[in-house]
Structure 1
């Protein structure tokens, strides 16, 4: 009888250990899969930071890249909110060791800390866009949009308003051509990926239309003045390219009058005859 009881207890522990190992292994695999997915999303987020961080000409904010994982964001605050400073600085970072993007306030702004329900100023801001990031539908411009709306204390503002005077004032047509192309591409991605509200969508679409006109006007000027580097290189290569004359044509050009008709015909015979 004791042997039977001992056998049953032994069998129970054996089954329990197998179940425990199976569960632990499954949790480990799930954790690895989630880590891989988070890593992929973070790399995508870092890539978006690199692309949008080089775009210049937004009305409400400016960006400065500080390596692959950091971007300094300066946002102009609304003049209607007297408690806020004229400009607020943020550090938008996507550190690999944290497995998630975060935003830190880098200027004295107690109002924004209260608005974002952030107790400790040394901690990352409590942003809805960052919390929803792991869903895979949040992009860099969604985080920027939320910050601009906080700084203006309204959701009606278009965070991506373009400072058109910046592009009009560019005297270098090549710089104007490239900068407008970068801004148009950025705005198109924002429209396609984030699908903002109707007001923001109309405002962005108008800016894209105006920038496209400036872009092609600059391109037309560059073509007319032959100021596009690749066109210059092509024309120079064509001018310096030696002319390829056919051997039978060169023989004829030498002195056809000194050759007898038969000999001249043999030496100047084209290769296809």
Structure 2
């Protein structure tokens, strides 16, 4: 068995793990800074908040609402963050020009010009995918391109150039997981960058019907516990996620008690009062 065959087999195994993570994340709701939407086996759409306007529950699905790009957010992100397409650290001034490189041909299966999903107000849409033909994950900006980088026109090839992310670059050496990419995208897009990219919208979760609240909170606990177990404790958001899991677990247990109480009451009513001897 040659070393190249072993390497290829390992990359396929990593990609399968990534796609499994993608499917799990795509089934969740209730995050404060982003909302995932699974689209097929290999694609995930991420709607990410542009500006943290305080504790205003997004609780948003990917919908047909009009997109909105904040001028203030655009000027701040372009001057402070690394250009996600060119990989060049910009100085104070206008967004950097996206450069042509050997990744320009790595087009997504669904080009941005045919994108039907539109983000909510104060949000940017991203596509995260793990295509088997590329053998590794990539991320593309799907809306508000000019907010993050000067794409130099509307050429579809340029607009569909994958983003240069550290988490994607580390794929070959470290085996990137889906939360690595999501946390980097949130910190790149949201102003100011949140201390915990996986912070939950507890207010939104509390408004869900009881049975849905029980299921949603349980699914979130499963994902966040997997993140805590498998990601590095050196991650800056690690302790924040642990705290989030604790508060979420309390919400989940409370929902469980209420579900059990209602079932017990329903069973009592169904059986009727005990017969007198």
TM-score (norm 2): 0.65
Q: Which runs of 5+ in 2 are unaligned?
A: 53-71, 78-120, 152-156, 272-277
Count of equivalent residues: 201
Among 141, 162, 182, the alignment partner of 1:144 is: 182
CA distance in 1, matches of 2:20, 2:30: 20
Quote the residue 1:14 is aligned against: none
Quote the residue 1:89 is aligned against: 125
CA distance in 1, matches of 2:214, 2:191: 35
- Displacement of 1:197 in angstroms is 4.8
Among 116, 119, 135, the alignment partner of 1:99 is: 135
Quote the residue 2:206 is aligned against: 168
Trace 1:190-269 onto structure 2 (pairs within 5 A).
Answer: 190-195=227-232, 197=234, 200-226=237-263
- Displacement of 1:142 in angstroms is 0.4
Trace 1:7-22 onto structure 2 (pairs within 5 A).
Answer: none
Quote the residue 1:179 is aligned against: 216
Among 25, 29, 34, the alignment partner of 2:7 is: 34
Where does structure 1 differ by over 6 angstroms across 4 or more consecutive aligned residues?
none
> Structure 1 residues 211, 156: CA separation in 2 closer, same or farther (over 3 Å shift)?
closer
Trace 1:39-58 onto structure 2 (pairs within 5 A).
Answer: 39-58=12-31
Trace 1:124-143 onto structure 2 (pairs within 5 A).
Answer: 124-143=162-181
CA distance in 1, matches of 2:261, 2:194: 42
> Structure 1 residues 141, 198: CA separation in 2 closer, same or farther (over 3 Å shift)?
closer
Considering fraction of residues, name the structure with more helix: 1
- Displacement of 1:207 in angstroms is 1.8
Quote the residue 1:21 is aligned against: none
Among 120, 134, 140, the alignment partner of 2:158 is: 120
Rg larger in 1 or in 2? 1
Q: Which runs of 5+ in 1 are unaligned?
A: 1-25, 240-273
**CA RMSD after TM alignment:** 2.8
Q: Are the aligned partners of 2:167 and 2:176 in contact in 1 as well (CA < 8 Å)?
A: yes
SS in 1 for 2:139: strand
Cα shift readout 1:129-173 (whole Å, capped 9, x = no counterpart)? 011012244210100011011113565531111000111111x22
Among 42, 52, 62, the alignment partner of 1:69 is: 42
Cα shift readout 1:41-87 (whole Å, capped 9, x = no counterpart)? 11110000001111110000001101110001110012562536821
> Structure 1 residues 191, 154: CA separation in 2 closer, same or farther (over 3 Å shift)?
farther
* Structure with more relative contact order (C-alpha pairs < 8 Å, separation 6 or more): 2
Q: Are the aligned partners of 1:113 and 1:125 in contact in 2 as well (CA < 8 Å)?
A: no
Quote the residue 1:270 is aligned against: none
- More off after superposition, 201-210 vs 99-108: 201-210
Quote the residue 1:264 is aligned against: none
